Amino acid sequence: MKKVLLISANMMKKPYPVYPLGLDYVAGALQARYETRILDMNGLSSLDTLGDQIRQYAPDYIGLSIRNIDNTDTINSKGFLSDYQDLAAIIRKNSDAKLILGGSGYTIFPLEFLHALGADYGIAGEGERMCELLDGLETKSDVSEMPGMITKDTRSVSYRAWEGQTRRIFHPDAVHTKYYLSYGGMLNLQTKRGCPFRCSYCTYPHIEGGKMRFYEPEEIARQARELEDAGAKYIFMTDSAFNADYEHSRQVAQAFIDARVSIPWGGFFAPTVPPAGYYRILADAGLTHVEFGTESMCDPMLHRLRKPFAAADVFAAHREALQAGLYIAHYFLLGGPGENEQTLQETLTGVDQLEKAVFFFFCGIRIYPHTSIYDTAVREGQIRSSQNLIEPVFYQSPFISDVEIMQRVEAHAAGRVNWLIGAGESKATRILPRLYDRGHTGPLWEHLIP
């Protein structure tokens, strides 16, 4: 059997290190026909040992997973492209294997990454297609027409959602699994792919597709048990919006109850009005942390951001989640088209009315291709359509600057510990690593709830 080494390039440890779930699926797709090994840069003691590992394994193909492009922080922006270029250089120095790129970050900028890293191939979208690519290369067929396939000659990218089988392979004893278990204890799980909404700034429907594709609830529950039995202390559901389909997510919760999953879990939720008793059932199934993608508490802003809810719905969702005894966080994305002093004030006044929660404020919206805010920014002359956006550019409201927004939020927060402003370098993200080092588990923001 030919050998494939799958490398997770992500080395970001804030807010906590993230298990490379995507590679479990890629490995699952390859397993029948290729010998596969996962190497996680997070679990590696130093970059120097990477070359040794590559030479030892001597793979025929190397897949590099690119998840994060940058830290998406307006103030302390940090891009990871040069780190990935260094990684690619080490790979090339130690192996003649064909280098194939993939991952969620990669999917946003597939041509840019392929050229910047000098890779041989890339797959935009789901990595389950990697098996097809390798089979094609083995038989020396033309692979350039496969959906999502990127070669050095590709000029435009077109891909469609993967409709075939998906299979996750999880190794409880793998070096990288042990790393996450010993540092915060968080593993992750996906219950479906795709998001049916079209929020103006969001890349998720582009990465995962706009049509939801569900996994069997019993299979998810089996995986949750597997993670729990391996020693996980918390599971993050990586779905774009866990409650985007109320019926399926309720069935997942019921399957957890039936399978006696007892580990706490959380995920991203849209603050839409839930059916009666929804959060209660989820809480009974182990849900402890709800992370609402709320973005604004001002209806005209929510409308312009194309959110599938209004401010009144946020209060309803918040109330239901609170009554079910859950920890709640709301994420806000300020500075979108039309943001001004009044809309910001409306949001801040709205937030004041959300009791017992943690609030994360992101001041400035990163512009990504394939989003409607991208078109707005081009129309307004903020970016050129030919511009390479791997280096982050943030949308600027003509009526209020990101710095002004941040100052106003800070002033309004008046030192409240549950109001967290900015992405990368906030007080909380400096404290978290120390808490994990001392053996604490899970997302930990619940400790900031008043």
Question: By the criterion CB under 6 A, which residues form the site for ligand SF4?
Answer: 195, 197-199, 202, 204-205, 240-241, 270, 293
We find the least distance from the C-beta atom of residue 270 to ligand B12, in angstroms, to be 13
- Which of 91, 8, 86 lies closest to 50 in space, CA to CA? 91
Helices 81-94 and 110-117 sit at what angle, rounded to 10 degrees? 50
Q: Does 199 bind ligand B12 (CB under 6 A)?
A: no
> What amino acid occupies position 414?
A
Q: What does the alpha-carbon distance between residue 23 and residue 19 come to, in Å, rounded to a whole number?
A: 9
Q: What does the alpha-carbon distance between residue 311 and residue 300 come to, in Å, rounded to a whole number?
A: 10
- The binder of 243, among ligand B12, ligand SF4, none, by C-beta within 5 to 8 A per type, is none
With H, G, I as helix, E, B as strand and everything else as coil, classify residue 399. coil
Q: Tell me how far the alpha carbon of residue 356 is from its chain's centroid.
A: 25
Q: Give 280 or 294: the residue with its C-beta nearer to ligand B12.
A: 294
- The binder of 296, among ligand B12, ligand SF4, none, by C-beta within 5 to 8 A per type, is none
Q: How far is CA 225 from CA 259, 261, 378, 429, 442, in A?
A: 8, 6, 47, 29, 17
Q: Does 266 bind ligand B12 (CB under 6 A)?
A: no
Q: Does 263 bind ligand B12 (CB under 6 A)?
A: no
Q: Give 4 or 298: the residue with its C-beta nearer to ligand SF4.
A: 298
Among 224, 311, 354, 423, binds ligand B12 (CB under 6 A): 423
* Pairing mode, strands 358-363 and 419-421: parallel
- The binder of 130, among ligand SF4, ligand B12, none, by C-beta within 5 to 8 A per type, is ligand B12
Q: Give 411 or 434: the residue with its C-beta nearer to ligand B12.
A: 434
Q: Does 126 bind ligand B12 (CB under 6 A)?
A: yes
Task: Please provide the distance, in angstroms rounded to a whole number, between the alpha carbons at the two ends of the chain.
Answer: 57
Q: Tell me how far the alpha carbon of residue 135 is from its chain's centroid.
A: 29
Q: Does 103 bind ligand B12 (CB under 6 A)?
A: yes
* Binding flags for ligand B12, 17-56, as an x/- string (CB under 6 A): xxx-xxx-xx------------------------------
- Which of 397, 325, 390 lies closest to 363 in space, CA to CA? 397
Q: Give 79 or 196: the residue with its C-beta nearer to ligand SF4.
A: 196
We find the least distance from the C-beta atom of residue 71 to ligand B12, in angstroms, to be 5
Q: What does the alpha-carbon distance between residue 187 and residue 203 come to, in Å, rounded to a whole number?
A: 23
Phi, psi of 142 (to 5 degrees): -80, 115
Strand partners, 287: 265
We find the least distance from the C-beta atom of residue 116 to ligand SF4, in angstroms, to be 26
- The binder of 205, among ligand B12, ligand SF4, none, by C-beta within 5 to 8 A per type, is ligand SF4
Q: 386: burial class by Cβ within 10 Å (0-12, 13-18, 19+)?
A: exposed
Q: What is the DSSP letter of 99?
A: E
Q: Does 128 bind ligand B12 (CB under 6 A)?
A: yes
Q: Give 42 or 371: the residue with its C-beta nearer to ligand SF4.
A: 371
- The binder of 426, among ligand SF4, ligand B12, none, by C-beta within 5 to 8 A per type, is none
Q: What does the alpha-carbon distance between residue 13 and residue 30 come to, in Å, rounded to a whole number?
A: 28
Among 68, 191, 294, 376, binds ligand B12 (CB under 6 A): 68
Q: Does 65 bind ligand B12 (CB under 6 A)?
A: yes
Residues 6+ positions from 70 with CB-CB distance below 8 Å:
77, 78, 79, 80, 366, 390, 391, 392
Among 74, 95, 177, 190, binds ligand B12 (CB under 6 A): 190
- The binder of 241, among ligand B12, ligand SF4, none, by C-beta within 5 to 8 A per type, is ligand SF4
Q: Does 102 bind ligand B12 (CB under 6 A)?
A: yes
Q: Of the ranges 44-52, 69-77, 88-96, 112-120, which one interacts with ligand B12 (CB under 6 A)?
A: 69-77
Beta carbons of 373 and 365 less than 8 angstroms apart = yes
- The binder of 21, among ligand B12, ligand SF4, none, by C-beta within 5 to 8 A per type, is ligand B12
Q: Give 12 or 259: the residue with its C-beta nearer to ligand B12.
A: 12
Q: Does 10 bind ligand B12 (CB under 6 A)?
A: yes
Residues 6+ positions from 178 with CB-CB distance below 8 Å:
43
- Which residues bind to ligand B12, rule: CB under 6 A? 10, 12-15, 17-19, 21-23, 25-26, 63-65, 67-73, 100, 102-105, 107, 123, 126-128, 130, 186, 188, 190, 203-204, 207-208, 236, 238, 240, 423-424
